[in-house]
Amino acid sequence: MYRCARCKEPLKPDSITLQCEKCGCRMFYKDRPNVKKVIKAR
Ligand SMILES: [Zn+2]
């Protein structure tokens, strides 16, 4: 599952265009439901 990098809107799996319906953003990040990983720069 992917989420929009800007508005955090979940991308529909059947979406072909890879574009957020809400804001039109084309940047996404993978959203894993079970693993919540926070990367912190030291
Ligand atoms: Zn968006």
pLDDT by residue (tens digit) across 2-37?
Answer: 888 899 888 877 767 788 888 999 988 887 766 666
| Ligand 1 midpoint to CA 32 (Å) | 18
What's the pLDDT at 7? 93
Q: How far is the CA of 24 from the centre of ligand 1 (A)?
A: 6
Confidence of residue 1 (pLDDT cuts 50, 70, 90): confident
- Exposed/middle/buried for residue 12 (C-beta within 10 Å: 0-12, 13-18, 19+): exposed
| Distance (Å) from CA 40 to ligand 1 centroid | 24
pLDDT on residue 36: 63
d(CA 41, CA 18): 29
Report pTM. 0.58
In the chain, what are the domain boundaries? 1-32
The rounded distance, in Å, linking the Cα atoms of 29 and 4 is: 7
DSSP letter for 38, please. Answer: -
Query: How far apart are the CA of 4 and the centre of ligand 1, in A?
Result: 5
- pLDDT score for 31: 74
